[in-house]
Structure 1
Amino acid sequence: MTRIIAGAAGSLRLDVPKSGTRPTSDRVREAIFSTLESWGLVDGARVLDLYAGSGALGLEAASRGASAVTLVEKHQQAAQVANRNTGTVLGAFGGSGSAPRVEVVRQSVQGFLDRAGAARWDVALLDPPYDLSEAELAANLTALVPLLAEDAAVLVERSSRSPEPSWPTGLAPVREKRYGETALWWAEPI
Structure 2
Amino acid sequence: MGEDGPVTRIVAGSMGGRRITVPPRGTRPTSERVREALFNAVESLVDLRGRRVLDLYAGSGALGLEALSRGAAEAVFVESDRRATLVLRRNIDTLRPQGAVVRPGTVASVLDSPADRPFDLVLADPPYDVPTDGLDAVLALLAHHGWTSPGSLVVVERAVRDRPPRWPAPLRALREKRYGDTILYWGDHDEDANGAKPSGETPGDAHAGG
Give the TM-score band, short-chain normalised: over 0.9
1:69, distance to aligned residue in structure 2 (A): 0.3
Q: Matched residues in 2 for 1:163 and 1:41: separation? A: 31
Q: For this pair of structures, how many residues does the alignment match?
A: 182
Report what 1:9 is aligned to. 15
1:150, distance to aligned residue in structure 2 (A): 1.7
Report what 2:133 is aligned to. 135
Report what 2:53 is aligned to. 47
State whether residues 132 and 164 of structure 2, in contact with CA within 8 Å, keep that contact through their aligned partners in structure 1: no
Q: Report 1:79-98 matches (<5 A).
A: 79-90=85-96
TM-score w.r.t. the length of structure 2 is 0.84
Q: Report 1:92-171 matches (<5 A).
A: 100-145=98-143, 146-171=146-171
SS in 2 for 1:161: coil
Which residue identity lines up with residue 110 of structure 1 in the other structure? A
Task: Report percent identity of matched pairs.
Answer: 46
TM-score w.r.t. the length of structure 1 is 0.92
Which residue identity lines up with residue 118 of structure 2 in the other structure? R
Q: Matched residues in 2 for 1:41 and 1:8: separation? A: 15
Distance 1:162 1:133, change over 3 A: same
State whether residues 155 and 185 of structure 2, in contact with CA within 8 Å, keep that contact through their aligned partners in structure 1: yes
Is 1:181 matched with 2:187?
no
Q: Matched residues in 2 for 1:81 and 1:189: separation? A: 32
Report what 1:66 is aligned to. 72
Runs of 4+ in structure 1 over 4 Å off: none
Q: Matched residues in 1 for 2:27 and 2:47: separation? A: 26
State whether residues 28 and 126 of structure 2, in contact with CA within 8 Å, keep that contact through their aligned partners in structure 1: no
